[in-house]
Amino acid sequence: MKIHPLLIKVTISTLIAIAAGACGGDGASDAIPASASPDATAVSPSTDPAMVLPTISAAMSEVRSWQVEAQLTVDDVTADGEQSLITTIHAARSGLGANIVVTRSNATTGSISGFTSAENRIVDAQRYRRDPNSGIWTVSDAGDEPASLTVDADVVGQIDTSTATVNITELGGEGVYHVTGTVPGVDAAESVEVFAGINDNLVRMILLEGGAPGSNFGGLLAISERLLPQSVEAHYLEYGRPITVHVPPIIGETDNAETRSYLSTINPFTMAVPGDLRPAPRNELMGETFNGTGGEALFIIEEYLDVEEAFVGELAGADPDAVTYARRFQIEIEKSGTYEVLSNEPFTTDSGLQARLILFTEAEGAVKWAHLSYLHGDDFGFGASYGGYTERYDEIEDAIMASFRSFAIVE
């Protein structure tokens, strides 16, 4: 039996196992498609679904790259008890052939709670999946799978135009098309709402309401004969920004390699990771901390920061630069109560990148960290950290400093 493409996009089993499926394409475009540009002579926006839906689909296909921030929610209350699940989804698409999807799921069934996370990448029709427990990457063929990225532009093209409605409204102060409809034969899309900009026809938000079997949720929820109610809210941003989805760095690397070249995803950079530092599982798009084993740890973080949101409070009125970003990062880790900051010093990499090197330790002194904090562009803050157990830190400190010294942005 052929599975409907939309069902692939909105079920947890897919988000954990094959969420980043895609095929074809070879890169990202910097520009909004010309066909979606405002026209001074254009007539009033149409409210005919047969005209609006294909226009939105075409604009999404032409723009090629974007990011998605989404949440899938299951809230099930029956006579047998209550259970719930919330999955946050961080995703990026570059062209038609390269995707990355990171998920984090928290579930409660009665008095039992569970958590899982997953990361999937598609590069050149190959899927790379990081095991949420071991952190080990596996490779499989994604060439025969339908194109998908969580909830993608495909959902627009699958809406039944004969029963859909289009209204002109506002979302965040912007004029948008508000499309409502359904996707026939797909339980997860009993109700679909699409919000797309009038001026560029690009999707701003998609809302889905429907149901899915309990077996779709990776064993986190009780399985029953009926469908569990689920909803998805997905926001789309960063249209046209070049995004390079790299093959995970540990693929093809040997344990005794002197260095490992790390390539990030959303803001590409390179660094030579010492071979004696054992990589730990990481979620690049979410900035989560994972400690390694065997006396060493590796922690790499990437952040997307909006200047107007990030530089507030203690940093009100400060100019966004490497110093301010480092101070913001220091304030955050101090407020957490988990870490103690030891120093925050200027640092320049061999490529000329101006940064701050922050040394801090966990409250109990178990792990000491070195964090390279830097700002790239006008509104993006990023950082990368290495950590080592305190009793071993002196042994690997030189290697950490050498790695940060070679840190370079990939333009």
* pLDDT at 393 (0 to 100): 83
* pLDDT at 7 (0 to 100): 35
* pLDDT at 263 (0 to 100): 57
- Give the residue among 98, 77, 80, 99 at the shortest CA–CA distance from 90: 99
Query: Which residue is associated with the tokens 């938000």?
Result: 205
Contact present, 118 and 103 (Cβ < 8 Å) = yes
Structure tokens at 371: 């964090």
Structure tokens at 327: 């101070």
* Range list of β-strands (E), 53-80: 66-78
* pLDDT at 2 (0 to 100): 31
* pLDDT at 379 (0 to 100): 60
Q: What is the C-alpha to C-alpha distance for residues 292 and 369, in angstroms, rounded to an integer? A: 13
**Residues whose CB falls within 8 Å of the CB of residue 208, separated by 6 or more in sequence, listed in order:** 10, 151, 155, 188, 189, 191, 192, 193, 231, 232, 234
**Residues whose CB falls within 8 Å of the CB of residue 161, separated by 6 or more in sequence, listed in order:** 49, 50, 53, 181
Phi/psi of residue 337, nearest 5 degrees: 75, -5
Radius of gyration, alpha carbons of the chain: 23
Q: What is the C-alpha to C-alpha distance for residues 332 and 335, in angstroms, rounded to an integer? A: 5
165-210 residue pLDDT tens: 999 999 999 999 999 999 999 898 999 999 999 999 999 999 999 9
Report how far apart, in Å, the C-alpha atoms of 302 and of each of 253, 320, 372, 383 are: 22, 17, 11, 6
Is 3.30.230.70 the CATH classification of the domain at 263-409?
A: no
**Residues whose CB falls within 8 Å of the CB of residue 166, separated by 6 or more in sequence, listed in order:** 46, 47, 48, 49, 52, 177, 178, 179
Structure tokens at 293: 């084993």
DSSP codes, 95-152: TTTEEEEEEEEEEEETTEEEEEEEEEEEETTEEEEE-TTT--EEEEE-TTSPP--SS-
Phi/psi of residue 127, nearest 5 degrees: -95, 135
Q: What is the pLDDT along the chain (411 residues), one digit of tens a residue?
A: 233 333 334 433 333 232 333 333 333 333 344 444 444 455 678 999 999 999 999 999 888 888 899 999 999 988 878 899 999 988 888 776 788 888 888 888 877 888 888 888 888 888 888 877 666 788 888 876 655 554 666 789 999 999 999 999 999 999 999 999 999 998 989 999 999 999 999 999 999 999 999 888 877 888 778 899 999 999 998 888 767 777 776 665 555 556 666 655 555 677 777 766 666 655 566 555 454 544 567 777 766 555 455 555 566 677 777 888 888 888 888 887 888 899 999 999 998 988 999 999 987 777 888 999 888 766 667 788 888 888 778 888 888 898 899 888 765
21-64 residue pLDDT tens: 333 333 333 334 444 444 445 567 899 999 999 999 999 988 88
User: Which 3 state secondary structure label does DSSP give 5?
Assistant: helix
Q: 360: which strand partners?
A: 341, 369
Q: What is the C-alpha to C-alpha distance for residues 326 and 316, in angstroms, rounded to an integer? A: 14
Q: 356: which strand partners?
A: 346, 373
Contact present, 252 and 91 (Cβ < 8 Å) = no
Segments of the chain assigned to CATH 2.50.20: 5-237
Region of residue 132 (phi > 0: left; psi between -120 and 50: alpha; otherwise: beta): alpha
* Topology of the domain covering 5-237: outer membrane lipoprotein receptor (LolB), chain A (2.50.20)
* pLDDT at 304 (0 to 100): 57
- Give the residue among 275, 249, 277 at the shortest CA–CA distance from 263: 249
Report how far apart, in Å, the C-alpha atoms of 94 and of each of 63, 149, 372 are: 10, 11, 27
Please count the other Cβ atoms lying within 10 Å of the Cβ belonging to residue 38. Answer: 9
Report how far apart, in Å, the C-alpha atoms of 243 and of each of 90, 92, 128, 137, 148 are: 14, 7, 17, 21, 17
Whether pTM > 0.75 for this model: the answer is no
- Give the residue among 56, 63, 74 at the shortest CA–CA distance from 161: 56
Segments of the chain assigned to CATH 3.40.1000.10: 263-409
Q: What is the C-alpha to C-alpha distance for residues 166 and 170, in angstroms, rounded to an integer? A: 13
Structure tokens at 367: 């792990």
